[in-house]
Structure formats: C-alpha cells, structure tokens
Structure 1
C-alpha cells in the first residue's frame, strides 16, 4: 500500500471540500547543496584529465568530479583542449552543477508524486550515475510505494559483468539517503 499523503474525515455532503497537506515537496524540484556534495563525494575530485573511470572500466576521458569529456581514453581530441592545464576545485563544482542539470530534468519529468528533498537528491544521484536503464526504479517511485524503493536501488549494482564494491556501496548509500535522509557518502 502506498504511503498515504494525508487522511481526512468529511461529512456526507458531496460538494464538501477537503484541504490536504504533506511534508513532501511538489514540483519543481532542485537538487540541494547537500545533494550536490553527496554526488561529488562519490565522484572524487581530479584536477587533471583521466580515463580510468573505476567500476565499469569504461575508460572514458573525465575530469573534476566525474565530468565526462568524451568517450574513450585520453587522445588529444579537441574536447580535451579546454582542460589540458587542469581545473580548480571551484571549476569542478561549477561543472558538477551543470552536469546535474540533465538528471534533474529527467527526475522532474518522470516522477509524478511528491518527494522529500532527500528522496529527490537520491534519485538525482542515481540518474546522474546511471543515465540509461533507470526506468524500473523511477516507475516504482511513481507507484507511491516509497518503502520499496531502497531495495530497488540494490538491483542496479552490475557493471562490466561484476558487482564492484564501490558501486554496491554507492547504491546502498543512495538507498539510505532515499529512506532516511542520511547524506553519508563515506566509502
């Protein structure tokens, strides 16, 4: 049974009106500073280009807090030119805020029920990390079965045919954030 947004007692008058309130937020949502910090903690700052992106072993060229530069290893591609001298932490924060725009749009478009800020932040981190194949989790959220969502996060731990411990820890942290509002991203 989905969480009740509210309960009310009305009279038998069919024209009566009931005002319902919830602590969950309605749209438009925006990721909180704590949500940004949560995602940045999982991505870890790197001032210079790198192409070993960890769990999936995808080897894409990246910089800052996981900012995607281009597919594949560092190659001298034109898209790398802007980052040849590296970036500062402040520049990496700005790139992250920009990179979270699309995941926020996706969550805002696909979720049709109210969320607490921490539930939204957990979903944004999830979509940021898993841009595709996230429909099952987002569909479950829309059923209103908030209590089932944390377990669903754990179904998304496969990368490169394995279940890397870092990815398992991230999904567990997202689940805890969604369930409890615990922004702990230690790993």
Structure 2
C-alpha cells in the first residue's frame, strides 16, 4: 500500500483524481506534548538507576522515564557512571525526548496510512515500551481497520512469562488513547 496522500484515483476512470479530506495527518509525524506527558506518566520518574524487566524480577539497568542505561542488571558498568548520583526530572525528560526518536522513526517508516495525532501518540507509547515484536499491531494499523486496533493492544501484555496488571492497564490506556483521544495515564 503506498503512503496515504491527499488524493485518490477512482476505480472507474484511471485518469480521474478525487480530493480526499481527512482529519487524520500525513507524514512526517511528531509526538505531541500530551503524548510525551502520557508516556512519562506510564514510565514513572525514577531518579536513580534501577533494574527493570516489566515484571519486577530484575532485568535491565534503567533510569528516569524508562531510559535504558544498558542491557542486564546494575553491575557497575561504565555506562552507569554518569548516573551514580541520580538525575533530575528535567534531565529525565531530556533523555525521554532522545529515546522517543527511535519509536518515531519506526512509525514514520512503517505506517502507511494517515493517523490522528492521538492515534500516533498511542503508537509511539506502545513502540517505546515494545520496540520489537510489534509487527502485528503495526500491520493491523496499515490495514486501515482503525476500529480493531484498540483490542489488538491487549495482545501485548506478557512480560517475563506473566501478565502484569500494570502492563494490562497500560495497554488498555493506549487503546483508549488510540480510539478516543483519551490522554488519561492514571493507574
């Protein structure tokens, strides 16, 4: 499917062109301030390095709003040095903005249909939390079945072999944001 454009060719006359009007946006997309706040609310600010795997059983060295310091648990690695004294909320927000470049790049490259801002923000939150293994959801978005996407979020609730309640709530919230533009990130 080609990238969504502001025009379409009819199936009755290959030389005709119809202007299509939509509230959905075409590329390039950029996350909104509301989207950043939504993600920060789910990630929760942690001023010191902690181990996180999404299920609370150890995992990867992380700080701020889910910024990955390195794979594997806290170990005294060189990459931890700059965070030994912790970080401020402002520094965590800067790291979050840098970290959002990757999911935004993925979505701008892989999504081929127009999106509302809130739909895009929900997808950025999802890909930020699950940077790989998300092809099924992105494929459904590209199919244009926008109404089926919120339920699809709930298929991605496993972490460490269990379904953490917090992850289920997050996926429901992402689905609600995608469907209704509801930026509520309360737990």
TM-score (norm 1): 0.90
Number of residue pairs aligned between Structure 1 and Structure 2: 180
Cα deviations across residues 107-126 of structure 1 (Å, max 9, x unaligned)?
11110000000000000000
- Measured after TM superposition, the shift of residue 75 of structure 1 is 1.2
- Structure 1 residue 25 corresponds to structure 2 residue 25: yes
Which residue does 1:171 correspond to in 2? 171
- Which residue number corresponds to residue 137 of structure 1? 137
Contact 1:55 1:166 (C-alpha < 8 Å) held by counterparts: no
> Where does residue 93 of structure 1 map in the other structure?
93
Runs of at least 5 residues in structure 1 that lack an aligned partner in the other structure: none
Q: C-alpha deviations, 1:88-109, integer Å up to 9, x for none? A: 1000000000000000000111
Q: Report the Cα offset of residue 30 of structure 1.
A: 0.3
Q: Could you tell me which residue of structure 1 aligns to residue 67 of structure 2?
A: 67
Change (3 A) 1:20 1:168: same
* Offset, 1:18: 2.3
Q: What pairs up with 1:34-183 in 2 under 5 angstroms?
A: 34-55=34-55, 57-183=57-183
Q: Distance in 2 between matches of 1:55 and 1:174?
A: 19
Structure 2, unmatched stretches of 5+, are none
Q: Given that residues 53 and 62 in structure 1 are in contact (C-alpha distance below 8 angstroms), is that contact kept between their aligned partners in structure 2? A: no
Going from structure 1 to structure 2, the CA distance change for 1:162 and 1:33 (only over 3 Å counts) comes to same
Q: How far apart, in 2, do the equivalents of 1:13 and 1:112 lie?
A: 24
Q: SS in structure 2 opposite 1:93? A: helix
Distance 1:20 1:79, change over 3 A: same
Give the distance between the partners of 1:75 and 1:65, measured in 2 at CA. Answer: 20
* 1:52, distance to aligned residue in structure 2 (A): 3.8
Moved over 6 A (4+): none
CA contact (8 A) 1:49 1:84 kept: yes
Q: Residue 51 of structure 1: SS of its match in structure 2?
A: strand
CA distance in 2, matches of 1:55, 1:161: 9
Conservation of the 8 A alpha-carbon contact between 2:49 and 2:86:
yes
- Supply the distance in 1 between the matched residues of 2:108 and 2:13 (Cα, whole angstroms): 36
Distance in 2, matches of 1:26 and 1:149, equals 18
CA RMSD of aligned residues (A): 2.1
